[in-house]
């Protein structure tokens, strides 16, 4: 089985300029994901899909291939991740390398490591289409705890009979959110059909700390501190 570790990292970040190669834990941000890809036992080949030569250079320095530069139409704000993944699989196929399973790794999840990747991959059963990494939703963010603002006043976002006590945690459903997602394990046939998750997708649960997704400057500073703490810095 050919398992492709695919790191998708376009240039031109607006929130944090140069985000994917910004310093984090004493290294470029993308380096942590390169380590996760190259260290995972389940991955046969690791590549980066990027439109930015600098990102490609950094990824290669950390052991990940950059066999092509992504076309401009797949590097815009409106480009879909599924199209980026399909392009990578097709480009490798045209070069003579077939993909059975894609392990999608976003470079903005520096606390995710090779162990997480291997554990997520192990969750993919024979009848499953995909595995997605998730994080538990804190009680205060559950839909029945959320309020909305209308006319200068707040009221419950959810109304109607819920079937459990809204103000008690006991008996309430356990909810999960995609943590970026940090990891998506998908069969290439599912991606070819235009989906990451298919019809039979199973979860891989991660902790809130390991699920940090770099979106704003604060996220980068928090991840930097956590990585420094882990390394004893």
- Per-residue pLDDT tens for 140-181? 888 888 889 999 999 888 876 665 556 666 667 889 999 999
pTM, to two decimals: 0.91
Cα–chain-centroid distance for residue 191?
16
Residue 174 pLDDT: 85
What CATH fold (topology level) applies to the domain 3-134+176-230? Spore Coat Polysaccharide Biosynthesis Protein SpsA; Chain A (3.90.550)
Please give the pLDDT value at position 157: 84
pLDDT digits (tens, 9 = 90+) for 80-121: 999 999 999 999 999 999 999 999 999 999 999 999 999 999
Spatial contact of 33 and 112, defined as CB atoms under 8 Å apart: yes
Residue bearing tokens 């969750």: 123
Output Rg (C-alpha) for the chain, integer angstroms: 19
Nearest to 4, CA basis, from 194, 233, 186, 205: 186
Would you kindly state where each structural domain of the chain is located, as residue ranges?
3-134+176-230, 138-174
């Amino acid at each position: 089985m050919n398992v492709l570790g695919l790191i998708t990292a376009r240039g031109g970040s607006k929130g944090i300029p140069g985000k994917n190669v910004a310093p984090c834990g004493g290294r470029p941000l993308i380096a942590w994901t390169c380590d996760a890809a190259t260290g995972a036992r389940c991955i046969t080949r690791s590549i980066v899909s990027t439109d930015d030569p600098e990102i490609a250079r950094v990824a290669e320095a950390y052991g990940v291939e950059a066999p092509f530069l992504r076309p401009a139409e797949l590097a815009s704000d409106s480009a879909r991740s599924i199209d980026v993944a399909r392009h990578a699989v097709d480009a490798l196929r045209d070069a003579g390398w077939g993909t059975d399973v894609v392990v999608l790794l976003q470079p903005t999840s520096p606390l995710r490591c090779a162990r997480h990747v291997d554990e997520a991959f192990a969750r993919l059963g024979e009848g499953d289409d995909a595995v997605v990494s998730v994080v538990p939703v804190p009680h205060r963010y559950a839909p029945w705890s959320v309020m909305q603002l209308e006319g200068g006043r707040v009221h419950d976002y959810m109304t109607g009979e819920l079937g459990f006590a809204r103000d008690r945690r006991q008996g309430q459903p356990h909810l999960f959110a995609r943590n970026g997602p940090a990891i998506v394990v998908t069969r290439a046939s599912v991606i070819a059909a235009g989906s990451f998750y298919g019809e039979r997708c199973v979860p891989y649960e991660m902790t809130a700390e390991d699920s940090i997704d770099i979106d704003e400057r604060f996220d980068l500073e928090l991840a930097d501190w956590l990585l420094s703490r882990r390394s004893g810095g």
